[in-house]
Structure 1
Amino acid sequence: MTSDLVLCSTQTILIWLLILSKILVDVKAQVYFSCSMSNYTEGSKYQTNLNRLLYRSLYNNGGNSIYTKASEGEEPDKVYGVFLCRGDVAPKECQKCIDIASEQIPRKCPLSKQADVWHDECLVRYSNVSFAATLDVTVYLVLRTLRNVSRPEQFKGNLIAMFDNLITQATTVNSNLKYAGTNSDEISPFQRLYGMVQCLPDLSAVDCRACLKNAFSEIVNLSLSDAEVSVSGRVLFASCNVRHELFPFLINASATGQKALPPSTIQWNEDQGENTSKTKLISIIISVIALMAVVLGGACFHLVKTRTRIEKEGNVKSQEIHLLNMIGETLDENDDFGSEKQGSSRELPVVKLDLIRVATQNFSEENKLGEGGFGPVYKGTLTNGIAIAIKRLSRTSGQGLKEFKNEVVLIARLLHRNLVRLLGCCLEGNEALLIYEFMPNKSLDFFLFDSRENEILDWRQRLHIIKGIAKGILYLHEDSRLRIIHRDLKASNVLLDKDMNPKISDFGMAKMFSGNQREANTNRVVGTYGYMAPEYAMEGLFSAKSDVFSFGVLILEIVSGRKNNGCVSEYGQSLLNFAWKLWREGHELELMDPCLSRSCVATEITKCIHLGLLCVQQDPADRPTMSSVVSMLESDPQTLPQPSQPAFSIARIVVRSAEPPSDDQLCSVNEVTFSILSPR
């Protein structure tokens, strides 16, 4: 054991020396853009006013303030602008940041009526609508670096305590400035936390606190395992932002202790910005050395923990044996596997591994259909000619066996034309395999979000798919022997058969309700951002209305051909936000996918948009049941209740490496499945 620790120490030191040399080269500041989908005309009066605002008004009105609002021109071409610097940034550095951002924003968001640009040290925003001092929790960006730590609950407790203190400072001690930061919050003798919170200064203290609480919840509510925590996080809301790191990133955290002054008269010592680079460099060196000591201890602790894991493997094996006893008889190559006769059996067959290896050509790359949340999916062909799909669950994911059991226990008992059929399973050797009927037309997202394929789905087919998904969910909620909440409804989990009939798949995250149970609460939120209901994502509370919310998102995606959780710089707002805006303006048909212009029925599209907005309302009690949704879809146009404002959501990004994401990577996140806290 001693020799292992010595070897561990030597290797860890060498690795961290290499990392240190890389970090000290340069850390590129990140810039994030949000551009609206509505545009102004080039050469218009609005553009003239915007140019004057960006290149004159903000500069001239800035002075020594970290926050300024300005406007240019007269209605209806009036442009409103705001700039905000981080509370610790000196005026010289603030002005430099504003200058750079004001130059970038018209290039990155050409002809956009509304746009935002976020730098590490400042924000520049303009709009054709006045910036009232009202709370806006539209999410612009969520960045997290997730890591496994030895004492996750202690780390999370320290993180929560630090942000509680910062939020209190920002809304009481510094209530005019609405900013607080700390450059040292000790969580162990070798590790420190650094954090910052900030609101737009004209927000009320109550609204600022609410905004910061919501922003911080984006950081603490999501991790992929019990031991995983956010060691680095940044959340940008419309009205506030928060950030935490394991290294000092503030220039002058003591600014939070100064007397709060009105936004237009906040003064700074001009010498503060002179030694910024040197201070940052020294801070990074100190923090990396401290972090190296922590990781060294953690790596050596891992040697001890490995022995515990080996002991647990015996328990996992016993669980597998118990699970096999719950399933039906074992089938070999002589059985009529995959036939209609087999499908009517109440017991789920256990298929021999050799049969599956032959069917998939030993899991060859040519037979690979894609990669799911817990492992790859392969196409197979049985000796009787029947095509099957095999989900190969990863035994190293920590969730493979749990998903396997969930699917076997739940979906094997369900039978509906709009649910994918589970044909069998295999638990043999190191393999955990689920076998489904093969869907030749892949999944719905393949057709909706691929510009080369979306024209294949005309309006008649899309309405047929909407109705089919609705009937499948209704069966799960009300008509099956079990009451099941899917919890991960999304376009990629809707498969299409040869006739383009939709079939809901992937029940690994589903939950079964018993008796009169109508809702439940969980410490581990699972699902996909952009589809999760707000009460579920924020509080872990789920019910049939959570699936209704996800179905509402699906309707709007099918009608528009756009992803709800799309790229920040491309859309500037979520699909829900955009649909709501068009609905209020009476222009809801502008949401329609342009390729539907020849096949659409305007009244049907309007009804579907209306239904979608009813399903994504903020309050679960306001959302319809799936039986009501199916009834409304099947009936002639009728008077529907008016929807209320939906829960808005844009892009959220999980960073798994020490490298910050590039601008291009900000447009790539959509189908990330998250899990929280306790095992299934």
Structure 2
Amino acid sequence: MAKFDDEFELKNGYFKINNSSNSSRSPSWFGTSSSDCKATCWQNCDCLGFDVPLVNGTSTGCRFWSVDCQFFEDLTASYSFVLSGQATPVKPPSAKKNGHKWLWVGIAIAAAVLVVVFCIYMLRRRIVSGKNGTKIQKILLKFMKSERPTDHVIAIENDHGNIRHPDLSVFTYESVLAATSNFSEANKLGQGGFGPVYKGKLANGREIAVKRLSKCSGQGTGVLLDWKKRFNIIEGIAQGLLYLHKYSRTRVIHRDLKASNILLDENMNPKISDFGMARIFSHDELEENTSRIVGTRGYMPPESVEGIVSVKSDVYSFGVLMLEIISGRKNNSFYNDDRALNLVGYAWELWKEDRGVEIMDPTLVETCISHQLLRCLQVGLLCVEENAAVRPAMSDVISMLTNESMQLPLPTKPAFYTERNPATTGIDRRGPPIISINDLSNTDLEGR
């Protein structure tokens, strides 16, 4: 038995006198109890350990072994008591098993601690994320409940079946993913300069279109739009406006028609989007004087400064958009030394000087049909007339574009002018304007 911290260790094995030493002493005997044997061996500095042999099944006492002996571990032998540090340092089998046992216990405890720490981290992260999400949602909901008038917004049905007139509809990213099947290619409608557009369906069955902005977005892929495609786009937009103005169940005035609100599908068919500023008329209503001015600078007709809204408001915007499509330039991209000059003014000057073909986008040189281009220029100038009453209706616009034998009236000086000080336009008198926040095309966040 070996001693650790004043204790003996019980081992399987046997003692053997060293043959190399002639002075090795034979084991001595002490006939007493095991506790007495331990005390006796402990008090003797030469005592290596002791065993308790059995003779005819009866104990004859303790047999002490001196330091001249050596202990050999043998799992088949009887137990012996060995003092620590004196015998061969071999652990008994039970110690090895216990060592492995505690090793696995330690590994299990460490793993459990790691799992608990990870769970606490994820739970805290979810709580923080939830708090931030709730905060953002509250801000958006507060914005939805703003004091802005909602008479210009079409009533919609939310996911809970409630009818209301919100200024802004808020959707979670998860709901958009679900609606578009995780932006699957099967739902892709087209590709724009700022990213692809996908169709989707909300939980209540309402169909939506979602533009997914690209990290490396750029404005336009103009080379891909030859003259035939552009003319088809112009005609398609005109057909869409005709439906809204005449064939829809209720007459709809879009009021924010511009390039960034036209979506193209995989076949380059145009779709009018973003009806956030639209206004509903009954079919017997021709125009209305509203208390707010809405739209995007450059696409707004002059009468909009006085709050007058009619189908001719969209006609004016369509004329500007058509001039942009055939020229490949924005309405507000023209400047000279003494005054700002927009695309409408530039087109009018070319028309007066019989140089209308010069408005053509340079990328259209090989595909353009010149007489169609000039016809589009003339129709565009008719749509942007100063006087709304002389602007053609969308049904007449379609006839002018498609019927080449139709005689077109001559345009007069269009409604183009340099930007005026908002204080002189009467905007303050009628309240702040509502302008589009979509700055992907010609949007400007300043008052008109």
Q: Residue 514 of structure 1: which of 279, 282, 285 is its match?
A: 282
How far is 1:568 from its partner? 3.7
Q: Residue 601 of structure 1: which of 356, 359, 369 is its match?
A: 369
How far is 1:382 from its partner? 4.0
* Mapped contact 2:237–2:272 kept (Cα < 8 A): yes
What CA distance in whole angstroms lies between the structure 2 residues aligned with 1:515 and 1:422? 31
- Is 1:540 the equivalent of 2:307? yes
Instruction: State the partner residue of 2:157.
Output: 327
What CA distance in whole angstroms lies between the structure 2 residues aligned with 1:314 and 1:585? 51
- Is 1:490 the equivalent of 2:258? yes
What CA distance in whole angstroms lies between the structure 2 residues aligned with 1:489 and 1:457? 20
SS at structure 2 position matched to 1:517 = coil
What CA distance in whole angstroms lies between the structure 2 residues aligned with 1:457 and 1:526? 30
- Is 1:556 the equivalent of 2:323? yes
How far is 1:542 from its partner? 1.1
User: With CA pairs under 8 Å and 6+ residues apart, which has the higher RCO, 1 or 2?
Assistant: 1
Instruction: State the partner residue of 1:630.
Output: 398
The answer to which structure has the higher helix fraction is 1
- Trace 1:218-237 onto structure 2 (pairs within 5 A): none
Instruction: State the partner residue of 1:357.
Output: 174
* Mapped contact 1:382–1:388 kept (Cα < 8 A): no
Percent identical pairs in the alignment equals 41
Residue type of the partner of 2:358?
A: E
* Mapped contact 1:484–1:511 kept (Cα < 8 A): yes
Check 1:314–1:561 CA distance in 2 against 1; reply closer, same or farther (3 A cut): closer
- Is 1:639 the equivalent of 2:407? yes
User: Bigger radius of gyration, 1 or 2?
Assistant: 2
Q: TM-score, normalised by structure 1?
A: 0.35
What CA distance in whole angstroms lies between the structure 1 residues aligned with 2:257 and 2:312? 12
SS at structure 2 position matched to 1:503 = strand
How far is 1:330 from its partner? 6.0
Residue type of the partner of 1:357?
A: E
- Is 1:670 the equivalent of 2:447? no
Check 1:498–1:652 CA distance in 2 against 1; reply closer, same or farther (3 A cut): farther
- CA displacement, residues 437-486 of structure 1 (integer Å, 9 cap, x when unaligned): 357999xxx99x65xx3111110000010000000000000011110000
- Is 1:591 the equivalent of 2:359? yes
What CA distance in whole angstroms lies between the structure 2 residues aligned with 1:520 and 1:618? 18
Residue type of the partner of 1:554?
A: L
Residue type of the partner of 2:444?
A: V
* Mapped contact 2:188–2:199 kept (Cα < 8 A): no
Check 1:605–1:330 CA distance in 2 against 1; reply closer, same or farther (3 A cut): same
How far is 1:565 from its partner? 1.7
The answer for unaligned runs of 5 or more in structure 1 is: 1-309, 332-350, 362-378, 390-419, 427-433, 655-667
* Mapped contact 1:482–1:514 kept (Cα < 8 A): yes
Instruction: State the partner residue of 2:38.
Output: none
Check 1:454–1:515 CA distance in 2 against 1; reply closer, same or farther (3 A cut): closer
How far is 1:649 from its partner? 3.5
Instruction: State the partner residue of 1:266.
Output: none
Q: TM-score, normalised by structure 2?
A: 0.52
What CA distance in whole angstroms lies between the structure 1 residues aligned with 2:384 and 2:257? 13
* Mapped contact 1:520–1:542 kept (Cα < 8 A): yes
What CA distance in whole angstroms lies between the structure 2 residues aligned with 1:576 and 1:640? 19
RMSD: 4.3
How far is 1:615 from its partner? 0.2
* Mapped contact 2:262–2:272 kept (Cα < 8 A): yes
Residue type of the partner of 1:671?
A: T
- Trace 1:357-396 onto structure 2 (pairs within 5 A): 357=174, 360=177, 380-382=180-182, 387=187
Check 1:653–1:504 CA distance in 2 against 1; reply closer, same or farther (3 A cut): farther
How far is 1:314 from its partner? 12
The answer for unaligned runs of 5 or more in structure 2 is: 1-138, 162-168, 190-197, 423-439
How far is 1:352 from its partner? 12
